[in-house]
Amino acid sequence: MWLLHLLPTSLILWIVNIAMIAGLAGILISYFIRFIPFINIYRTPIQIISIIVFCSGIYWYGGYSTEMIWRDEVAKLEEQVKESEAKSKKVNTVIKKVYLDRVKVVKQDVVVIQEKIREVSNTIDRDCKVSPEAVNLLNQAARRKPVVEVEPLKKDDKQ
């Protein structure tokens, strides 16, 4: 049936219809031919050939119908995939915009806070001196990393 992919739809339908009509006509002719003298000796071969042609036509028609159903399904699916790809791109654009907007706000907030810290630094620093232990503890907390190590994925796990 892969051959059907190479032929245009109209040509396939044309061939299939011709085969079915020719086969059916041959079967009918072979039925009436027995009443005609001299020619009726060809009845059996005509009947056999007509049946083969008709059956081939029916078979091809089945193949053609299935082929058309699949082509239709594929076209629908391709359309859906195209739509989903467009939606997917839109989602990406929105997510990117939201990310950039939110990060911008966070960065601005940090700048504002840093500015405020600078403004009140004299007041803060006047009454408080940070001990080195406090700095060490804070840095330790910042350096802390998870102790659980995960083994790299094995070949079997990847599947």
Partner 1 sequence: MKRLLILLLLLAGCSTTVPVKRTFPEVPKELLTRCPELKEVPEGTEKLSELLSVVADNYGQYKECQISVELWNEWYQEQKKVFDSVK
At its nearest, how many Å lie between partner 1 and the CB of residue 154? 23
Instruction: Give just the sign of the alpha carbon dihedral 90, 93, 96, 100.
Output: negative
Angle, helices 43-127 vs 9-32, to 10°: value is 150
Considering only the stretches 7-15, 36-44, 110-118, 147-155, report the one whose residues sit in contact with partner 1 under the rule CB under 8 A.
110-118
Binding to partner 1, residues 28-47 (CB under 8 A): none
- Report the alpha-carbon distance of residue 50 to residue 38 in Å, rounded: 20
In the bound state with partner 1, the residue whose beta carbon lies nearer, of 37 and 159, is: 159
At its nearest, how many Å lie between partner 1 and the CB of residue 38? 25
Residue 61 in contact with partner 1, rule: CB under 8 A: yes
Residue 99 in contact with partner 1, rule: CB under 8 A: yes
- Report the alpha-carbon distance of residue 65 to residue 80 in Å, rounded: 23
What one-character-per-residue DSSP string does 85-100 give?
A: HHHHHHHHHHHHHHHH
Considering only the stretches 6-14, 33-41, 89-97, 146-154, report the one whose residues sit in contact with partner 1 under the rule CB under 8 A.
89-97
- Report the alpha-carbon distance of residue 64 to residue 3 in Å, rounded: 11
* Tokens representing residue 117 in the block: 């810290």
Residue 81 in contact with partner 1, rule: CB under 8 A: yes
- Residue among 11, 98, 20, 97 at smallest CA distance from 62: 20
* Tokens representing residue 129 in the block: 């001196």
At its nearest, how many Å lie between partner 1 and the CB of residue 19? 12
Interacting residue ranges for partner 1, rule: CB under 8 A = 1-2, 4-5, 27, 51, 54-55, 58-67, 70-71, 74, 77-78, 80-81, 84-85, 87-89, 91-92, 95-96, 98-100, 102-103, 106-107, 109-110, 113-114, 117-118, 120-121, 124-125, 128-130, 132, 134-135, 138-139, 142-143
